[in-house]
Chain A
C-alpha cells in the first residue's frame, strides 16, 4: 500500500537557524499537500504542489516537489518561535485518499 515517510521525526533549532523536513513516497504522487499543526491544535493547510519539480514560496517557507513526484521538502529560513509545531506532508496518488506522513515536530529555542 501507499506509504509516506517523513524525516526527521523531531528537530530542535535555535531561533534564527534554518529548518528542513523531507517527505518520501513509495509511489508516484498526483499531488502533495503540506499542513502545520500547532501544539494542542488541528492541522492547518499550508500549500499544495502538483507539478513535477514545482517550487513555491510563502514568506520564509519554501516548498519543493521532486522531479519524479515521489518526494517533497519544506524549508524554513531563519526560524521564529511562531514556527513551532508539527509539519505534515500528505500525498495523494491517483484516486487514492490523502496519506499523511508521520510529521516533523519542530521546536524553536529562543
Chain B
C-alpha cells in the first residue's frame, strides 16, 4: 500500500524565493494535516483539512504561509516569500478522520539560506 507521499524530499533555496511543498494523502483518508518540526519548537500543527475543507489554520505562522487542498488526493503548502527561520522539516499526515491515527509522509527537509 502506498503511504503518504511528499515532495520534494529536500529543498534548499535562497530567502525571498517561493517554496511549494506537495502531499498526496493515502487514498480514502479524508483528513489531512501539515506539521512543521524543529529542534526548538518540536512538532507543530500548521493546518488541517477535513474533506478538502480547511478546518483550523491557527497554527499557520503568518500570511507568508498558505495551504490548499483542491481535491482529495493532493495538497500544497506554500511559503512566499521564504525566510531563513522557515527552515525545518515539514510533514504531511492523513487519517480516516480527525480522531483516528495519523499516517505521516517522509517529510520535506527545507533549508532557506
Q: Do A and B come from one complex?
A: yes
Residue count of chain A within 8 Å CB distance of chain B: 18
With A30-B99, A43-B104, A45-B101 as contacts: A97 and B48 at CB distance below 8 Å? yes
Please tell me if B113 contacts chain A, counting CB pairs below 8 Å: no
Binds B, one of A19-27, A64-72, A73-81, A98-106: A98-106
A97 near B99: Cβ-Cβ < 8 Å: no
Residues of A within 8 A of B (CB): 30-31, 33, 41-45, 48, 88, 92, 95, 97-100, 102-103
A-B contact pairs, 20 of them (CB 8 A): A33-B101, A33-B102, A42-B91, A42-B104, A42-B106, A43-B43, A43-B104, A44-B104, A45-B102, A45-B103, A48-B101, A88-B43, A92-B98, A97-B48, A97-B56, A98-B33, A98-B102, A100-B42, A103-B42, A103-B43
